[in-house]
Amino acid sequence: MGRAVVTISATYGAGGSVVGPAVAARLGVAFVDRAIPVAVAERLQVSLDDAEAHDDRVDTGLARLLARWAPMAAALGSSPVLPGEGLDDEEAYCAQTEAVLRELAVGGAVILGRAGALVLADWPGALHVRLDGPLEQRLAYAASRLGISLADAAAAQRKADAARALYVRQLYHADAASPRHYHLVMDSTRLPDEVVVGLVSQAAAELADLPSAAPQAAEPGRAEPKGG
C-alpha cells in the first residue's frame, strides 16, 4: 500500500479526536494534531505561545479571537477584520503551517483540522473526510465522552464550531461544511466509532494504492490566497 494521507474535518462531538488517531494506527501512519504549532514555531523561530496564538483550537489565541468576533460577523454578513493581527504574520503562519502539512504528507499522515482538505486538495491519493451529525447526538456524545453536562457541552460546541468555521472562512475564504471539499461526508453519530474508522481506513487504503497516488513534495502555497 502507498503512504496513505487522510484529512479529517470534524464538528464538535463528531468524534474527530477519536477517529483520527485510530485511523492513523490502522494505516500505520502518523497522526497530526498538536505537533503542528511546535513545527511552525521552529520554522518561524518564534515561541510556541506565539504559534499557538494562530492555531485553530478554540482554547487558544486565534480561535478564541474568531469565536469572539463570530456574532459580529453574522450580524454584518461578512468576515470580520481581526484587530491587532498583522497580515504578514497571518500569511507567514499559514504558509509555514501548509509547508509542515505537506512535508508530513510525504511520509503518510492523518491530519485533523487545520483546513487540511484545502491545503492538500490536490495531493495525490489524499482522502478528505468530513465528520458531522445532528447537534443533539453530537452533544450527547461529547458529554458522555468528556464527563460533562449537556449544558457545558452545548457551550463548548457553540464556541468550537463557530471558531473552526470562521478560521476556514477567514483564512481560506471557504465553507468548511461544503461537501465539495471532501470525498466522504459521514454522519459519525449514527455509526459506532469502529465502523467509522473502518470505512475511512478502507477508503484511504484504496486511494493510496491508485497509480496516480505517488506522493510528491510540493511547493507550499495557499489553497485560496488571502484577498483572492
* Residue 141 belongs to a domain: yes
168 located within any domain: yes
Tell whether 175 is covered by a domain.
yes
Residue 96 has pLDDT above 60, yes or no: yes
CB 18 within 8 A of CB 212: no
For residue 50, pLDDT beyond 70: no
Give the CATH number for residue 148: 3.40.50.300
Per-residue pLDDT at 43: 61
Residue 84 has pLDDT above 80, yes or no: no
Q: For 120-132, what is each residue's pLDDT tens digit?
A: 999 999 999 999 9
**Inside any domain, residue 45:** yes
130 DSSP 8-state letter: E
Domain presence at residue 46: yes
In-domain check, residue 222: no
Domain-embedded: residue 48 = yes
- C-alpha 217/C-alpha 16 separation (Å) is 27
Share of the chain above pLDDT 90, in %: 47
Q: Which domain holds residue 50?
A: 5-213
Number of folded domains that form the chain: 1
Span 152-209, pLDDT tens digits: 999 999 988 888 888 788 778 899 999 999 999 999 999 999 999 999 999 999 988 7
93 within domain boundaries: yes
Q: How confident is the model at residue 142 (pLDDT cuts 50, 70, 90)?
A: very high
